[in-house]
Chain A
Amino acid sequence: MWNDILALLKQELIVTFIILILLTIKVGATEWKTDNILKLANLLLLINFMAGFVMNSEGTLFNDMFHTDRLITLEKNMLSLATLIISLQSYDWLKTHKHILEFYVLMLSTLLGMFFMISSGNLLIFYLGLELSTIPLAAIANFDLGKRQSSEAAFKLIISSAFSSGLLLFGISLVYGTTGSLSFEIIRQQLDGSSLQLYAFILLLSGFAFKISVVPFHLWTADVYEGAPVAVTSYLSVVSKGAIFFVFVPVLYTVFKSLAAHWYLMLFLLSILTMLIGNLFAIRQNNLKRLLAFSSISQVGFILVGISGSSTAGSASVIYFILIYIFSNLGAFGVVSLISALTGKETIEDYKGLYSTNPLLSWVLTISLFSLAGIPPTAGFFGKFFLLMAGAGHGNYELVIIAALNMVIALYYYLRVVKAIFMDSNEHPIEKLKISILPKLAMLACAGAIIITGFAGWIYDHISSLSTGF
């Protein structure tokens, strides 16, 4: 029993342990230097990421409430990696802050919540994990204490989260009422497609849709992304969205498999709406954070196309895409976050002529944006290609055509930023920034990963071989 708990809960225990270490430092008598805390935190996160690769085991715990396998381990590793990159990127921003330890403790609690959520085999533990991953997030969204926008963002986040949790809970209670159980396995067997169950499913789907900001449940996204500190924004858009997808996909494919005909149609409509609205709104944005917020909404639309493939290819392409999305989006957010932390500039106008002063930042941002747009040789091309391919595998060419045309619209607003960086002249471009070694490292890692990931075909093959269970 204890051996099992130690082995299967390895990743959760490591995160908990790191939280404890950081808390001990906080309550300890000695005052740590900011720089040392940051270095220690990054080191611990690195250890957390590396530990994900050794001594992994598969199995279930607590009456199937918690389960883990190689795919879930991989997903957790991806989240750990993203957290590490975000932490490295926010180095320059956090250095100026007083409450660094709290930041890390809160961020890691949300990571812990996501780990439990991904591993859940029961709606109860799923809900527990979800809440653990959202509430601390609202606290760190409010981390720029001096800024009113920041607290506004936190408020919007907590209210919309509470609302979506309410929807989820309502759905969960109806599911419980009609099937008599909260366990995924039993629900799967008991679902017969009655209208009450369908209603429950719609409520659950809406809850999920809120969290991954699917249109029409996306209204909170742009404001929260704009108001929150960039580190939190990138965390929200990459890690927390990714985690929800990691649960959403298997829940749809296995638990609600018998309702496939229904959710397939819903996904069809939602994905078209999400891509289109996300893209059309992104065109009008001048603030880079808002632009990236809407772009991330439209990316979600593309992911839904992949999910509608509903097979091994669907699951594999979604996970593969999220891996690439982590690098691309964090590459873009990393640059935006650095520039925003050091100069406070965030609009496209401010980025005019960036290349003349900061060539490295310009290239990293450009490569990331092209990856988000899905242009080769960046990894985004492969991610999008396989997502749409999974969608087309279902014989669903209308959706694929719409998605493909949306890629053209998306290219337009990404190119607007590239144009500002390279082509527009500016009398007062952003001055040459001095960047610390750690954020630079994180950015180069993102850019490198964007270029390399697509060519390493075994990554997709590996993910695909792990997701054969669907």
Chain B
Amino acid sequence: MNLSLLILIPLITSFALLFCKGLKQVRVVSFTGALVQLALAFILLALYWQERTAGNTAIMLFESNYRWFSALNINYHIGVDGISIAMILLTAFVMIAGILISWTTESMAKEFFFLLVFLSVGAYGFFISLDLFTLFFFLEISVIPKFLMIGIWGSGKKEYSAMKLALMLMGGSVLVFVGLMGLYFNTDTGNGSHTFDLLQIAQMNIAVEIQRMFFPFLFIGFGIFTALFPFHTWVPDGHSSAPTAASMFLAGISMKLGGYGCLRVATFLMPEAAHEYSWIIILLATIAIVYGAFATLMQKDLKYINAYSSVSHCGFVLLGIGMLTQGSITGAVMQMVSHGLMTALFFAAIGMIYTRTHTRMVEQLGGLMKAMPFISTVFVIAGLCSLGLPGTSGFVAEMTIFMGSWQNTNTMYRVATILACASILITTVYILRAVGLVIMGPIKNADHNGLADGTWNEKFAAGILIIGIVAIGIAPFWLNELLGPGTQTIIKHIEKAIAI
């Protein structure tokens, strides 16, 4: 299968959107595009299984490689392994849900859907890139649509949030850029030229001093995208001010770009440095987990609750990566997928509540279960997944991370693991409190009595995300098998490097 299709379909969709007239046409076109993309993601998954069961053990499948700037040895090189496919599936799920949630966008619908679909181009491209230049290109491509979406369709202090998000993400990008430069000029393909090719660099042994110097740039750069403490401050503002679909995309996909980059680029290409610096990563991740959880306790705005809990949950991803065991890294990727689905569902539910009640403040809401049972149920499911109830993806992912982390026998690392485990308790507190105050009890505001429940598009959107959450929660083995070869490659690479 030609992987470029994954980029081409959203591109064609967004181009077609430019010629659409009226909301009806716009949403039909973008929905069709997202549906085709979802089908394509499943076809990719099937083909991948087929190849793997046929005994194909290549690191990356369906590779294709085209010259882009031959003078600088920059190629458009794409390929996927299990990890990328999991992320692609996640993106396809969130995109379709995001489009359905924005079904009734009134103002500037064409521009909104154009930017939303264009955002996904960056994500798909990022996950299939095997050339660091291409990867960086797709990483940065989303700055414009994010800025415009938050600034135009957002709520609250949207301009401030949009600017903060754009500048902080740009800051992350430039750090990544410096790291990439350091990598590039210390590679040697044999004939004196340098390379950006991920697989080629992995085979070279980058000198340890170089790794020490440039690993922080790459890790912090990507870390900013995934809310690495203390660079997480864009997350609460950005997520809360964004329109629902953009929040879903930001928290569900955009933050995963960072985690994926930390794993695939920083850790995979500079294993020695990752090992040396792992204590800092774990320290920061643990702070993010605990601090994020405590900060969530204090929030009164539903979107802020979810945003701060995202900081805490993405801390688990970084913790898993920092522990450098197979289990923890598998868990980190699972957590990325799980958190992507869960947080998208959460934002979707909050968006549905907000469009009806026009408030997101916990104290102004109450007893919603009586007025809108479907939306409340969705809210509860998202909450339970967030606190890691067995049967949801959250449990599987966090459990895998903890078990993997415990394999790292360093005492301090085990303390960090215990702390991270304990934070689930706080998660339970804030989730149950939010659920209790918003969903249960008597209806606080009499106006909320006659509000309509979810429409078909909202049910569809929530349903598709819930299917994903439950599918991982009940049958985690398929995801484990999908990620297996990819994480094994990374782990073997790290172990080989550390052993030397």
B residues sitting closer than 8 Å to A (CB atoms) are: 67-72, 74, 133, 136-138, 140-141, 143-144, 147-148, 151-152, 158-159, 162-163, 166-167, 170-171, 174-175, 177-178, 181-182, 184-185
Which chain A positions have C-beta within 8 A of B136? 385
A–B Cβ pairs within 8 angstroms, 11 of them: A376-B140, A376-B141, A381-B140, A397-B178, A404-B178, A407-B170, A423-B152, A457-B68, A457-B69, A464-B71, A465-B71
Bound form: Cα–Cα A419–B177 in Å: 26
Quick check: B70 and A415 within 8 Å, CB to CB? no
Q: Is A193 an interface residue (CB 8 A)?
A: no
Contacts of A316 in B (CB 8 A): 71
Contact B181 A407 (CB under 8 A): no
Known: A377-B141, A457-B68. A422 touches B185 (CB 8 A): no
B-contacting residues, A330-345, CB 8 Å = none
User: Quick one: closest B residue to A404, CB to CB?
Assistant: B174
Closest chain-A Cβ to B124's Cβ sits at a distance in Å of: 14
A401 to B182, CA, bound (A): 11
Q: In the bound complex, do residue B143 and residue A419 qualify as a contact, i.e. CB atoms below 8 Å apart?
A: no
From A377, A392, A411, B170 is in contact (CB under 8 Å) with A411
**Set A386, A395, A423: member contacting B72, Cβ < 8 A:** A386
Q: A100-139: contact bitstring with B at CB < 8 Å (1 yes, 0 no)?
A: 0000000000000000000000000000000000000000
A408 contacts B171, CB within 8 Å?
yes
Q: How far is the CA of A418 from the CA of B71 in the complex (A)?
A: 34
Q: Which chain B positions have C-beta within 8 A of A401?
A: 178
B166 to chain A, nearest CB (A): 6
Contact among A376, A405, A424 with B174 in the assembled complex (CB-CB below 8 Å): A405
Q: Who on chain A is nearest to B174 by CB? A: A404
- Total interface residues on A, CB under 8 Å, equals 35
- 4 new A-B contacts, CB < 8 A, other than A408-B167, A457-B69, are A404-B174, A423-B162, A457-B67, A460-B69
In the complex, what residues of A have CB within 8 A of residue B68's CB? Answer: 457
CB distance from B142 to the nearest CB of A (A): 9
Contact assessment for B144 and A412 in the assembled complex, using a CB-CB cutoff below 8 Å: no
Of the candidates B70, B144, B174, B185, the one whose C-beta lies within 8 Å of that of A461 is: B70
Given A376, A393, A412, A460, which contacts B185 in the complex, CB threshold below 8 Å? A393
Provide the bound-state CA to CA distance between A256 and B393, in Å: 65
- Chain A residues within 8 Å of B141, by CB: 375-377
- List chain A residues, Cβ under 8 A from B144: 366, 370, 375
Q: Does A388 contact B (CB under 8 A)?
A: yes
A400 within 8 A of partner (CB): yes
Nearest chain A CB to B115's CB is how many angstroms away?
A: 11
Q: How many angstroms from the CA of A140 to the CA of B451 in the assembled complex?
A: 67
Q: Are A376 and B137 in contact (CB under 8 A)?
A: yes
Is A389 an interface residue, CB under 8 A from the partner?
A: yes
Q: Which of A397, A405, A412, A423 contacts B151 (CB 8 A)?
A: A423
CA distance A313 to B194 in the complex (A): 13
0/1 string, A419-435, CB within 8 A of B gives 1? 10011100000000000
CA distance A423 to B148 in the complex (A): 8
Residues of A within 8 A of B67 (CB): 457
The reply to whether B177 and A415 form a contact with Cβ atoms under 8 Å apart is no
* B166 contacts across to A, CB distance below 8 A: 411, 415
Which of A376, A388, A464 interacts with B181 by CB under 8 Å? A388
- A422 contacts which chain B residues (CB < 8 A)? 148, 151-152
Q: What 1/0 mask marks residues of chain A from 139 to 167 whose CB sits below 8 Å from any chain B CB?
A: 00000000000000000000000000000
B167 CB contacts on chain A under 8 angstroms: 408, 411-412, 415
Smallest CB–CB gap between A177 and chain B, Å? 41
5 A-B pairs with the lowest CB-CB distances in the bound complex, closest first: A404-B174, A464-B71, A392-B181, A423-B151, A457-B68
Does B147 lie within 8 Å of A418, measured CB to CB? yes
Set of chain A residues within 8 Å of B158, measured between Cβ atoms = 423
Interface residues of A in 421-470 (CB under 8 A from B): 422-424, 457, 460-461, 464-465
Residues of B within 8 A of A370 (CB): 144
Q: How far is the CB of B187 from chain A (nearest CB, A)?
A: 13
Kindly state the separation between the CA atoms of A370 and B72 in the bound complex, as whole angstroms.
24
**What are the residues of chain B within 8 A of A381 when measuring CB–CB?**
137, 140
A395 and B185 contacting across the interface, CB-CB below 8 Å: yes
B159 close to A423 (CB less than 8 A): yes
A20 to B466, CA, bound (A): 75
Interface residues of A in 224-268 (CB under 8 A from B): none
Q: Which residues of B contact A395 (CB under 8 A)?
A: 185
Q: Cβ of A415 and Cβ of B147 under 8 Å apart?
A: yes
Cβ contact within 8 Å between B151 and A419: yes
A452 vs chain B, min Cβ distance (A):
14
B163 touches A412 (CB 8 A): yes
> What is the chain A residue whose CB lies nearest that of B66?
A457
Contact A419:B178 (CB < 8 A) given known A411-B170, A464-B71: no
B140 near A389 with CB under 8 A, answer: no
Q: Which of B138, B152, B175, B185 is A392 in contact with, Cβ under 8 Å? A: B185
Q: Which residue on chain A has the smallest CB distance to residue B151?
A: A423
Instruction: For the complex, give the distance between the alpha carbons of A123 and B184 in Å.
Output: 39
Closest CB in chain A relative to B118 CB, distance in Å: 9
Complex Cα gap A328–B185 (Å) = 29
A377-B141, A397-B182, A423-B159 are known contacts. Are A408 and B71 too (CB-CB below 8 A)?
Answer: no
Report the Cα distance A370→B68, complex, angstroms: 22
Residues from chain B with Cβ under 8 Å of A461 in the complex: 69-71
Query: Nearest B residue to A460 by beta-carbon distance?
Result: B69
> Shortest Cβ distance from A272 into chain B, in angstroms?
15
Chain A residues with CB under 8 Å of B71's CB are: 316, 460-461, 464-465
Among residues of B, the one whose C-beta sits closest to the C-beta of A384 is B177
Q: Mark A378-402, 1 if CB is under 8 A from B, else 0.
A: 0001000110110011010100110
Most central of B162, B181, B184 by chain A CB within 10 Å: B181
Are A400 and B143 touching (Cβ within 8 A)? no
Which residues of chain A come closer than 8 Å to B133, judged between CB atoms?
385
